[in-house]
Structure 1
Amino acid sequence: MTDTPPDRLASDPRSPFHDAEMLDRGIGIRFNGVERDNVEEYCVSEGWIRVAVGKSKDRRGNPMTLKINGQVEAYFRTQD
């Protein structure tokens, strides 16, 4: 595996950007200098994260999400 996290990653297994191996390795997200642990999806190059909004669900039972723009830094929490 590489030492740099992917540019875009999603926790939803139905997404084309889902990578279970990377998620198992432990990805940390720093958004505008603040550690975030509720990130559903992120994109470093486009500068956005998608976070769950409360306990709301959509009609398919998935959490409602909000896309927030800003500075995104992804890193590995644990080293191999």
Structure 2
Amino acid sequence: MANHASAEKRIRRNARRYEINHARISRIRTHVKRVEKAIASGDQTAAMEAFKAAQPEMHRGVLKGVLHRNTVARKLSRLNTRIKALGA
């Protein structure tokens, strides 16, 4: 249990940040799943549209500090490679 006002405030702030960060990560995962679903269906144009929607969301996650930049770069690169393979 917190014994200082600052510790109580920190607990409240951490709870708020957790909610915000959790929602952001969930939104990113949803976008990635949409891309993967389009790839699985074999529709390159739909996959590319979903990828273009997912890209800024993932980069925003980096700016907000919920994901590491190299993680996002790796995931985007792998998704893009899979989308390009559909056309070949």
TM range (shorter): under 0.3
TM-score (norm: length of structure 1): 0.24
Greater strand share, structure number: 1
Taking structure 2 as the reference length, what is the TM-score of the superposition?
0.23
Return the index of the structure with the highest Cα Rg. 2
Highest RCO, 1 vs 2 (Cα 8 Å, sep ≥ 6): 1
